[in-house]
């Protein structure tokens, strides 16, 4: 007898042998036991989830004379007749190759004939979405009101392509992808039946590659069993799937997360030079990044990842040393690269671009890239390996640099450490800035914060950069006055909660009347918003840091528009002439 593939040899023959799909199995069993058999069923779902298998079991069960637990017994005359290859009561039609109107008209004529061996004549139409519109119309009336002995089972992976008139006449069942744990149990049972020894990690790798499909999993298991001469190992599965060595993928991902673009690109080139497909490489990188995410956030990551100990330890070490935002950003970049690969004639450029973009966040203005850079900076500050410098003016007029390590400077009373970025209460620098912007910074005044900065010698704020502006209470030079508005706008960009206020102030006009700074706007809405007590007070705090003690916001009086000016000029030029405006 010719060799049969695993998925054909071990195809379930009863409802109890079907992997998962319990919600569908229970309904079909109840219908068989109660004798309430429908005339049309629609089985929808991904490939390899049991649609055709359940259709065949159901077709035999409704014709069985002595069903066992609603499943066909396989011993009665009807079961034996239906098991023969030449039976006419169960017809399987491939709609992909029989999708014309003539085939459906022929089916409509044959459905009138009664069954030969059983009680029902069952038509299983696979990939029914491939039928043409004319073919659907030809079978429409018959599908709605078939003879009492006829049952239609339509199977499809794309239910959205089926006309609503057809779907409304069927009982619809949606098949789900099979969980990995159930696929592993199925593969183990098949390998045990064939006498093949295996490693647990090898079975887990096959189930992951099956991606929820029982047929795909058994097909991969069939190839792996043929490839392996002895015990089926994880390396055997990786070789059959064409995956790159996990340690090489780990090396690439680690270099990317460490922002070593040159080494990462070289490692990718080495992998591709061995003949690995670009699509497989991107898929392997995405799989490794997914394992990093699981190891980063899940306590039961060991059971979920289910890889050999050496591989798992490598993943865990990289996950501990990496930032979560950075892993997410790199995953999104390679997921987009996998999509772009479908439309590119040169896949190598796609993967190399993804590697460079992932490993050089300083060139990327994506929010996740910025967050990753900020987190890296905070780690350096916490570990005390990042020097912060401030230019101070020496007595002789020359500039010198004063270096300060975070671990060496005393913390201020307000909770701001030597670097001005790390706080004793655990708040991040951005949380501290937001609290200060909304008046929640430990009830400290702007003067106290300024004094603390002066005492501790912290890094200057963005508006304190040289040339220095005189401290609050002093008078500003004309050159310093010209810089105040620009530095005030920069101050409003320090936290995301100031975005509205920053936008409101962007179009203001600013000029000094003596030592008083006057903001003017021609928008009444902007004027009212800036005059709100909270906004007005925050503007005052920011301006005091810049040496401005007096300020106000005024609204410009509305003057003549350009149109009115032109019209009046025209009237003056042609006095005595009647000018009508329409």
- CATH code assigned at 99: 3.40.50.300
Does residue 193 fall inside a structural domain? no
Give the residue numbers spanning the domain of 448: 392-460
> What is the per-residue DSSP string for 19-72?
-S-HHHHHHHHHHHHHT---SEEEEE-STTSSHHHHHHHHHHHTT-SS-BTTB-
Do 308 and 422 belong to one domain? no
125 three-state secondary structure: strand
- Rounded Cα distance between 162 and 125, Å, is 13
The sign of the CA dihedral 127, 131, 136, 139 is negative
Say what the pLDDT of residue 495 is: 53
Do 16 and 130 belong to one domain? yes
- Rounded Cα distance between 558 and 67, Å, is 91
Does residue 300 fall inside a structural domain? yes
Does residue 229 fall inside a structural domain? no
Does residue 210 fall inside a structural domain? no
pTM for the full predicted model: 0.57
Do 399 and 358 belong to one domain? no
Do 553 and 424 belong to one domain? no
Do 61 and 164 belong to one domain? yes
Residue 123 main-chain phi, psi, to 5 deg: -115, 115
- CATH code assigned at 361: 1.20.272.10
Do 450 and 475 belong to one domain? no
In the 8-state DSSP scheme, what is residue 386?
-
Buried b (16+ CB within 10 A) or exposed e, 343-382: eeeebeebbbebbbbbbebeebeeebbebbbbebebeebe
Does residue 180 fall inside a structural domain? no
Torsion angle of alpha carbons 543, 544, 549, 551, nearest 10°?
Answer: 20
Does residue 127 fall inside a structural domain? yes
Question: Within 13 A of 100's CA, how many CA atoms are on the CB side?
Answer: 4
- Domain final residue pick, 174, 199, 224: 174
Task: At 218, list the tokens.
Answer: 């058994």
376 three-state secondary structure: helix
CB contact at 8 A, 180 and 204: yes
- The helix or strand, by DSSP H or E, that contains position 237, with its residue range, turns out to be helix 234-241
CA 572, distance to chain mean position in Å, is: 67
Residues with Cβ within 8 Å of 97's Cβ and at least 6 positions away in sequence, in order, are none
Residues with Cβ within 8 Å of 99's Cβ and at least 6 positions away in sequence, in order, are 130, 131, 132, 135
- Rounded Cα distance between 470 and 394, Å, is 17
- CATH code assigned at 566: 3.30.300.180
Say what the pLDDT of residue 446 is: 44
- Domain final residue pick, 128, 144, 174: 174
Number of domains in the chain: 4
Task: At 296, list the tokens.
Answer: 């980063």
Say what the pLDDT of residue 372 is: 65
- Rounded Cα distance between 332 and 362, Å, is 17
Residue 521's beta-bridge partner residues? Answer: 555
Question: Within 13 A of 259's CA, how many CA atoms are on the CB side?
Answer: 13
Q: What angle do CA 502, 507, 510 make, to 5 degrees?
A: 100
Do 151 and 17 belong to one domain? yes
- Rounded Cα distance between 38 and 32, Å, is 10
pLDDT block averages, 10 residues each, the chain of length 582: 82 90 92 91 92 92 90 87 79 87 88 87 92 89 88 93 91 92 92 91 90 92 90 88 84 92 91 87 92 89 84 91 88 92 89 91 64 68 53 40 40 38 41 41 45 45 40 67 82 64 80 87 83 85 85 76 70 74 64
Do 17 and 102 belong to one domain? yes
- Rounded Cα distance between 267 and 251, Å, is 8
Q: Token match 């239906």: residue?
A: 82
- Rounded Cα distance between 266 and 233, Å, is 29
- Domain final residue pick, 153, 174, 195: 174
Task: At 280, list the tokens.
Answer: 């497989």
Task: At 344, list the tokens.
Answer: 């590119």
CA 105, distance to chain mean position in Å, is: 47
- Rounded Cα distance between 371 and 114, Å, is 71
Do 402 and 436 belong to one domain? yes
Does residue 455 fall inside a structural domain? yes
Does residue 288 fall inside a structural domain? yes
216 three-state secondary structure: helix
Do 399 and 533 belong to one domain? no
Do 153 and 17 belong to one domain? yes
Do 278 and 325 belong to one domain? yes
**Cα separation values, 456 from 382, 404, 566, Å:** 17, 10, 61
- Rounded Cα distance between 426 and 91, Å, is 71
Q: What is the CA radius of gyration of the chain?
A: 37
């Amino acid at each position: 007898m010719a060799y049969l593939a695993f998925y054909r040899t071990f195809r379930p023959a009863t409802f109890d042998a079907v992997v998962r799909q319990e919600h569908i199995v229970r309904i079909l069993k109840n219908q068989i036991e109660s004798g309430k058999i429908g005339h049309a069923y629609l089985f929808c779902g991904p490939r390899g989830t049991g649609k055709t298998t359940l259709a065949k079991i159901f077709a035999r069960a409704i014709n069985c004379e002595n069903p066992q637990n609603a499943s066909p017994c396989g011993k009665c005359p009807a079961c034996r007749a239906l098991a023969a290859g030449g039976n006419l009561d169960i017809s399987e039609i491939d709609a992909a190759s029989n999708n014309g109107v003539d085939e459906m008209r022929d089916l409509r004529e044959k459905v009138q004939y009664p069954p030969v061996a059983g009680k029902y004549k069952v038509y299983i139409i696979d990939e029914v979405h491939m039928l043409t519109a004319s073919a659907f119309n030809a079978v429409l009336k018959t599908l709605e009101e078939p003879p009492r002995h006829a049952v239609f089972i339509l199977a499809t992976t794309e239910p959205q392509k089926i006309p609503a008139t057809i779907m409304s006449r069927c009982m619809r069942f949606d098949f789900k992808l099979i969980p990995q744990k159930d696929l592993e149990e199925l593969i183990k049972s098949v390998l045990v039946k064939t006498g093949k020894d295996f490693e647990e990690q090898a079975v887990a790798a096959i189930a992951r590659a099956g991606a929820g499909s029982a047929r795909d999993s058994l097909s991969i298991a069939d190839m792996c069993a043929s490839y392996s001469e002895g015990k089926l190992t994880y390396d055997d599965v990786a070789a059959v799937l064409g995956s790159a060595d996990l340690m090489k993928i780990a090396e690439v991902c680690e270099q990317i997360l460490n922002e070593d673009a040159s080494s990462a690109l070289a490692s990718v080139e080495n992998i591709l030079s061995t003949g690995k497909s670009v699509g497989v490489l991107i898929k392997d990188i995405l799989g490794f990044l997914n394992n990093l995410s699981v190891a980063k956030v899940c306590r039961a990551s060991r059971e979920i990842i289910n890889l050999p100990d050496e591989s798992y330890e490598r993943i865990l070490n990289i996950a501990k040393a990496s930032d979560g935002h950075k892993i997410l950003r790199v995953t999104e970049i390679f997921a987009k690269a996998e999509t772009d690969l479908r439309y590119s004639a040169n896949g190598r450029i796609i993967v190399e671009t993804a590697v460079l973009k992932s490993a050089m966040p300083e060139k990327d203005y994506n929010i996740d890239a910025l967050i990753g850079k900020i987190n890296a900076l905070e780690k350096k500050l916490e570990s005390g390996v990042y020097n912060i410098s401030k230019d101070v003016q020496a007595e002789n007029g020359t500039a010198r640099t004063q270096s300060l390590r975070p671990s060496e400077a005393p913390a201020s009373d307000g909770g701001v450490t030597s670097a001005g970025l790390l706080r004793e209460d655990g708040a991040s620098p951005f949380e501290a800035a937001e609290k200060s912007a909304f008046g929640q910074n430990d009830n400290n005044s702007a003067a106290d914060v300024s004094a603390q900065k002066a005492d501790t010698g912290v890094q200057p704020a963005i508006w304190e950069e040289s040339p220095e502006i005189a401290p609050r209470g002093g008078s500003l030079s004309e050159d310093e006055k010209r810089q105040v508005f620009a530095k005030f706008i920069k101050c409003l960009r320090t936290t995301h909660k100031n975005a509205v206020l920053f936008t409101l102030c962007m179009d203001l006009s600013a000029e000094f009347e003596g030592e008083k700074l006057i903001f003017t706007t021609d928008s009444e809405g902007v004027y009212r918003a800036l005059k709100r007590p909270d906004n007005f007070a925050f503007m005052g705090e920011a301006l005091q840091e810049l040496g401005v003690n007096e300020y106000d916001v005024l609204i410009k009086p509305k003057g003549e528009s350009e149109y009115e000016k032109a019209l009046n000029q025209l009237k003056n030029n042609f006095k005595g002439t009647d000018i009508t405006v329409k």
